[in-house]
């Protein structure tokens, strides 16, 4: 399995603004997953996008995947203070039967 690299490491925005986080990876993947972690708690699965998909939506979340650039982005629209959390991407390749390798994540702070 391979590790995704999130960028930026930290992001601070005002409530109502959009937040965009990026993820890059190294080799071809079967799918890529995004997770959120509120301080000191377990991770929450947000979206899984498969390698043959280019875009996926879930509520205020929009994930894109560009396999030619080996990158993905997570867009949170109309951010709320409750979106304050760390966000992680986890690429899954064919060799990873069942484990996810996480990077350092993007720490998002949404100020009211």
Partner 1 sequence: KAGVTQTPRYLIKTRGQQVTLSCSPISGHRSVSWYQQTPGQGLQFLFEYFSETQRNKGNFPGRFSGRQFSNSRSEMNVSTLELGDSALYLCASSPYGQGYGYTFGSGTRLTVV
**Residues forming the site for partner 1 (CB under 8 A):** 1, 30-31, 33, 35, 40-45, 48, 50, 88, 92, 96-105
28, two tokens: 């071809």
**Nearest to partner 1 of 15, 31 (CB atom):** 31
Rounded to a whole number of angstroms, the minimum distance from the CB of residue 16 to partner 1 is 29
**Nearest to partner 1 of 15, 109 (CB atom):** 109
Q: What is the dihedral of CA 57, 45, 51, 4, to 10 degrees?
A: 120
Rounded to a whole number of angstroms, the minimum distance from the CB of residue 32 to partner 1 is 11
State the Cα–Cα distance between residues 11 and 45, nearest whole angstrom: 20
Residue with tokens 């972690």: 37
Rounded to a whole number of angstroms, the minimum distance from the CB of residue 84 to partner 1 is 18
Coil, strand or helix at 16: coil
């Amino acid at each position: 399995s391979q590790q995704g690299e999130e960028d930026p490491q930290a992001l601070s925005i005002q409530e109502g603004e959009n937040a965009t986080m990026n993820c890059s990876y190294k080799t071809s993947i079967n799918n890529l997953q995004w997770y959120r972690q509120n301080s000191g708690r377990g991770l929450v699965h947000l979206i899984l996008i498969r390698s043959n998909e280019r875009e996926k939506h879930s509520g205020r979340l929009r994930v894109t995947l560009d396999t030619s650039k080996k990158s993905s982005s997570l867009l949170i629209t109309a951010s709320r203070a409750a979106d304050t959390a760390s966000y992680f991407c986890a690429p899954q390749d064919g060799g990873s039967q069942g484990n996810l390798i996480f990077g350092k994540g993007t720490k998002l702070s949404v100020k009211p």
